[in-house]
Amino acid sequence: MYVAVRGLKAKPGLFEEALRRIENGFVPLISSLPGFVMYDVALIGEDEGLSISFFETQEQAEESNRSAVEWVKENLAPLAAGPHQIVAFGEVLLHKAK
């Protein structure tokens, strides 16, 4: 399994709108990609979020990053206070779920 961690800082007061767009637009897109396992978004600072997506293979996770870059460019750019960042990418070595 592979993980892609991405970050985005929204302009002041626009994080909720960014989250709404992600939930209604990006989540259906990413969850329909081959090998999709799981997707989460966390608020990590004021108007700043971090997303974590899991895919079965490295190639599928890399494709999710390409899809994310394009989707963010088209849908979140006006709300962003900085560039969309791929923070980390790699193989999951240990995973425990409830």
Spans of all domains in the chain: 2-91
- Could you tell me if 4 and 64 are in contact, meaning their C-beta atoms sit under 8 angstroms apart? yes
Asked whether residue 97 carries a pLDDT value surpassing 90, the answer given is no
CA gap 87, 39 in Å, rounded: 15
Per-residue pLDDT tens digits for 30-74: 999 999 999 999 999 999 999 999 999 999 999 999 999 899 999
CATH of domain 2-91: 3.30.70.100
CA gap 72, 44 in Å, rounded: 18
The confidence score (pLDDT) of residue 86 equals 82
DSSP H stretches of helix in the chain = 15-21, 27-31, 58-75
Residues in the chain: 98
The confidence score (pLDDT) of residue 58 equals 94
pTM for the model stands at: 0.87
Choice between 83 and 22, residue whose per-residue pLDDT is larger: 22
Asked whether residue 88 carries a pLDDT value surpassing 90, the answer given is no
